[in-house]
Amino acid sequence: MNRIPVAVLGATGTVGQKFITLLEGHSWFTVEEVVASSRSAGKQYKEACNWKQPTPIPKEIAEKIVKTTDEKLNSPLLFSGLDSSVAGPAEEKYANDGHFIISNSKNHRMDADVPLVIPELNADHFDIISKQPYKGGIVTNSNCSTMFLAMVLGPLHQAFGVSEVQVSTMQAISGAGYPGVPSMDILGNIVPYISGEEEKLEIEPQKILGSYKDGTITPAKMKISAQCARVPVFDGHTETLSIKFHKKPTPEQVKKVLADFTGEAQKLGLPSAPSRPIVVHEEPNRPQPFLDAWLEKGMVASVGRVRECSVLDIKMVIMGHNTVRGAAGAAILNGEALVKKGYIKV
């Protein structure tokens, strides 16, 4: 396969930078175009970008000239890390021009004709792209905390039927972008509010885990109550779950279902797909962001402390890398799935 030219929208931001690092040396994709705000237009990427990644800017990207969303693009596939304040109309414009956009922004996630996809769980939802009024199409990946919640709930819902969920998140500061949370607000502290996060966790999993038929996604029937906090951790969102099932499982049954789970991404052999989407830890003090965020290159959901709950049925701790599997890595995986399933012709 010839490498497919792609563009990164919002390329100078936190998620955009993560796209650049994850796409370096990708076997299917090559970054041909970088797009950012008018402040960066006409500059070399290395001059426009306040680079905050632990590896250097890839040499082939550093001297690329930054474009704006007003300019035409040549790449058929666009990865969007645009801020939600500008993402909606920009993504629609490019879709009208015939591009396929994989968006990390919230703007189109809940649109009836836009799939909200985790390839291991609901790759069949890609088919709803045909209902969109564009020459190309828009696909979204979920909120970063929703990603790990849905990855865990998906196989459990299929096996036992999930009816109610209580989830509390401890979200890393990298999820707030750069410069993010002021140091005097977060160091030695917990901020028990993240605007819009709780609402996303309470509605997005129903769409992801819903059924697709005849051009319509019917949301899964489960109640979710979420509470979200920002904590002084750099990368890795941790979540505590209590789950009520229609058919109550034992902790051992839950662990087996999660440990054995694979999905369409693994079946298709996608380059970014982890061999195990869910890693189940037996140690009583795991998962931990410091130890586990980068398992399988940051593309897994880690699960631990699975045990009975005295209020609902089962409780556990889950964790994942918020800017990789929760953002840029998830979008790249969706792009790979679109190519492999023939939605993007190469």
User: Active-site residues: which are they?
Assistant: 144, 237
Q: Is the dihedral of CA 322, 159, 248, 276 positive or negative?
A: negative
- The C-alpha torsion from 229 through 230 and 236 to 242, rounded to 10°, is -10
Would you say 115 and 129 are in contact if contact means Cβ atoms under 8 Å apart?
yes
> What whole-number distance in Å separates Cα of residue 76 and Cα of residue 12?
20
> What whole-number distance in Å separates Cα of residue 298 and Cα of residue 230?
20
Closest residue by Cα to residue 154 from 118, 126, 199: 118
> What whole-number distance in Å separates Cα of residue 314 and Cα of residue 243?
5
Would you say 307 and 316 are in contact if contact means Cβ atoms under 8 Å apart?
yes
> What whole-number distance in Å separates Cα of residue 130 and Cα of residue 128?
5
Task: Give the amino acid at 202.
Answer: E
Would you say 217 and 207 are in contact if contact means Cβ atoms under 8 Å apart?
yes
Q: Residue 6: how many CA atoms within 13 Å on its side-chain side?
A: 32
Number of C-beta neighbours around residue 128 at 10 A: 21
Number of C-beta neighbours around residue 56 at 10 A: 11
